[in-house]
Every structure is written in structure tokens, then in C-alpha cells.
């Protein structure tokens, strides 16, 4: 899911005055990127649902109701009720929180580890680069979800550990992206110029390299949130994420699997939640790549 090739974006309009940074120009172009904007809207709805869960949820997500067990969707319960009579709609709404938290927190962890490591590897080169790159090769050799499962299993099953496990497993991707962008930036003339006028290396790294690797890191972060949401749902599905009775889309699907014949709706709505959240971040990431990635544009 990491590297995907997209065709070149539509030609950019000439830069408006006053002169803006390439990043800002790119973001302005994003507003005209149709599928990217669809993604942004899906993401906005997802975030709003998660944040406003206490306000918009019609019932408590954990209150059991023994006289309303496995009721099909109706006006009273739009998405029906689950095996112990909890309102499915409320659980789907609250479940957005675990997904959003996992998506954002694990990607922040991954970027916090991967970006400085990639910057250091690309900037310093030599032995530091060799060691870090081999370590990343080794981590990427272990299948992503198997590594995340193993980390979550050894750390202990709960949402916090799932986020740490996903974050660590995602970090190598950020290291690779940051390293490649750093190496690319280092060949540019302004780095040579900054060196020539006597800037110390740390200043070159922070002032000149970091702003130039921001775009690829932002694109990767958006796409990685999509992957992290699926990973959290997968870990929860396996019982390694949010623990019952708290709702998460993955664990709801796990429970739903036992009632496929009696209550098929329980298997539909949480899956739709995951699908639309992930689709939103994927569309947005693709759109950002089209407007920000100068290498792919003709």
C-alpha cells in the first residue's frame, strides 16, 4: 500500500502574486483536485463523528438492554441492536473514536521515530546511514501486521499498546521516505550555497532540509493513517485492540461473525465505517501526492 504510481496532475496555474511556497501552491491546487476533495470531505465527516460522538449518539454505546437483543434495523434503532441489546448506531459512532485515535496517534509515533532517523541517515551518510538502513530493511522484512501483532501481544492487549505496536511497525516507511527526500534535497544548489556561507550542519538540516522533506512526509502520513486505521481494526478484530465493552469497529466485526445468520446487519455497518474512513484518507493522500509531489508531475 506504500508506493503507488499515479498519472501526472493537471497542469498548475501560474503562481499568483504574492509569491507563495511550493507547499502552499500545492495546497491551493488541492482545492481543485476533485477526488482529493471527496477524500477531504469523508475525512472531515469521520473526524467530526469521532469528536461529536457524545452529542450525536442517540444512546449509550455500552448500555445493554435485555429486551432488545439482536433487533433488525428500525426507526428506533437505525442500525439495529447487537447481541446484548446495545444500539448499533451509537456503537458505530463511538467506534470512530478508537479508529481516529489509532490512526493519528500511531502515525505520530511512526513519524516521530522515522523522520529524525531518516533525516540523520540521509544527512550524515556513512556508517549511520548504513546501520539505520539495514535496521529498516530488517523491520520491513517482517510482514507489517505480523510485526504489529507480535508487538501488541508481547506488550499486552489494549488500545494504547496497539497504537504503539502499529506506530513502531510503520516507522520504517517514514524513515525511508525522509531519507530519500533528504538525499534528494542535499543535491540542490541552495544546500551548497548554505554550506558555502558557513552555516553549521544542524542549521542546514533544520532550516533548509526539513522544510523540503515536509511534502513527502505529509503525503506519507495521510496514506499511513489509512493503513493504521485498517491495522487497528485488524488488531481489534483479533482481540488485541480496544477491549470490551468499549466499542471499536474491529472488535464489533469479531463479535458479529458469530451471528452472521441471525443478525447480518451487525457485520455490515462497522465495516462500512472502516471502509469510508480509509477510503477518505486514501483519496486525500492520492490527491496530495498529485499536487505536491514535484517528481511525479510532468
Partner 1 sequence: MQGPIGARLIQLVPTILLVSIIVFALQQLMPGDPAVLLAGDAAGDPHVVAAIRAQLLLNQPIWAQYLHWLWAALHGNLGYSWRLSSPVSALIAQKLPVTIQLSAMAFFFSVAIGVPAGVISAVKRGTAWDWIANAVGLFGLSIPTFWLGIVMILVVSVDLGWLPPSGYVPLTQDPLRSLETTIMPAFVLGNAIAAILMRHTRGAMLTALQQDYVRTARAKGLSERRVILRHALRNALIPVVTLGGLQLGTLLSGAVLTEQVFDIPGIGKLVVDAVFNRDYPVIQGVVLVSGLLYVVINLATDILYSVINPRLRGG
Q: Per DSSP, what are the bridge partners of residue 87?
A: 81
Measured distance CA(137)–CA(135) in Å, rounded: 5
Question: Of residues 250-279, which lie at the interface with partner 1 (CB under 8 A)?
Answer: 253, 256-257, 260-261, 264, 267-268, 270-271, 274-275, 278-279
Q: Which is nearer to partner 1, 52 or 142 (CB)?
A: 142
Residues contacting 48, CB < 8 A, separation 6+: none
CA distance 101 to 166: 12
In the set 43, 117, 151, 213, which binds partner 1 (CB under 8 A)? 151
Q: Which is nearer to partner 1, 87 or 286 (CB)?
A: 286
Contacts of 13 (CB under 8 A, 6+ apart): 29
- Under rule CB under 8 A, residue 1 binds partner 1: yes
- What distance in Å separates the CA atoms of residue 50 and residue 19, rounded to the nearest whole number? 37
SS3 state of residue 81: strand
Rg of the chain on CA atoms, in Å: 22
- Rule CB under 8 A: is residue 140 a binding residue for partner 1? yes
Size of the site for partner 1 (CB under 8 A): 50
Q: How far apart are CA 45 and CA 39, in angstroms?
A: 10
In the bound state with partner 1, the residue whose beta carbon lies nearer, of 151 and 178, is: 151
- Interface region with partner 1, contact rule CB under 8 A, candidates 51-59, 146-154, 175-183, 203-211: 146-154
Footprint of partner 1 on 206-235 (CB under 8 A): 226, 230, 233-234
List residues binding partner 1 (CB under 8 A).
1, 4-7, 134-135, 137-147, 149-151, 153-156, 226, 230, 233-234, 237-240, 253, 256-257, 260-261, 264, 267-268, 270-271, 274-275, 278-279, 282-283, 286
Amino acid at each position: 500500500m506504500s508506493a503507488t504510481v499515479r498519472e501526472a496532475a493537471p497542469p498548475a496555474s501560474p503562481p499568483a502574486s504574492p509569491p507563495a511556497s511550493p507547499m502552499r501552491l500545492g495546497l491551493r491546487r488541492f482545492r481543485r483536485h476533485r477526488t482529493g476533495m471527496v477524500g477531504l470531505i469523508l475525512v472531515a465527516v469521520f473526524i467530526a463523528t469521532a469528536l461529536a460522538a457524545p452529542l450525536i449518539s442517540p444512546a449509550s454505546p455500552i448500555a445493554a438492554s435485555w429486551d432488545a437483543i439482536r433487533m433488525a434495523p428500525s426507526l428506533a434503532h437505525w442500525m439495529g441492536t447487537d447481541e446484548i441489546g446495545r444500539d448499533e448506531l451509537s456503537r458505530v459512532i463511538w467506534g470512530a473514536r478508537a479508529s481516529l485515535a489509532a490512526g493519528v496517534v500511531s502515525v505520530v509515533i511512526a513519524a516521530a521515530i522515522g523522520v529524525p532517523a531518516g533525516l540523520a541517515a540521509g544527512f550524515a551518510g556513512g556508517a549511520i546511514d548504513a546501520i539505520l538502513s539495514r535496521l529498516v530493511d530488517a523491520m520491513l522484512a517482517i510482514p507489517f501486521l505480523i510485526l504489529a501483532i507480535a508487538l501488541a501481544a508481547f506488550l499486552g492487549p489494549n488500545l494504547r499498546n496497539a497504537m504503539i505496536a502499529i506506530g513502531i511497525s510503520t516507522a520504517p516507511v517514514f524513515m525511508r521516505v525522509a531519507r530519500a527526500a533528504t538525499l534528494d534535497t542535499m543535491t540542490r544548489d541552495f544546500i551548497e550555497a548554505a554550506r558555502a556561507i558557513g552555516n553549521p550542519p544542524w542549521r542546514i538540516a533544520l532550516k533548509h532540509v526539513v522544510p523540503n522533506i515536509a511534502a513527502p512526509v505529509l503525503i506519507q502520513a495521510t496514506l499511513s493513517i489509512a493503513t493504521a486505521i485498517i491495522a487497528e481494526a485488524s488488531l481489534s478484530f483479533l482481540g488485541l485492540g480496544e477491549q470490551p465493552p468499549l466499542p471499536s469497529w474491529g472488535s464489533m466485526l469479531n463479535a458479529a461473525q458469530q451471528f452472521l445468520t441471525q443478525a447480518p446487519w451487525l457485520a455490515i455497518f462497522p465495516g462500512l465505517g472502516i471502509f469510508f474512513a480509509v477510503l477518505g484518507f486514501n483519496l486525500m493522500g492520492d490527491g496530495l501526492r498529485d499536487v505536491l509531489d514535484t517528481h511525479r508531475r510532468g
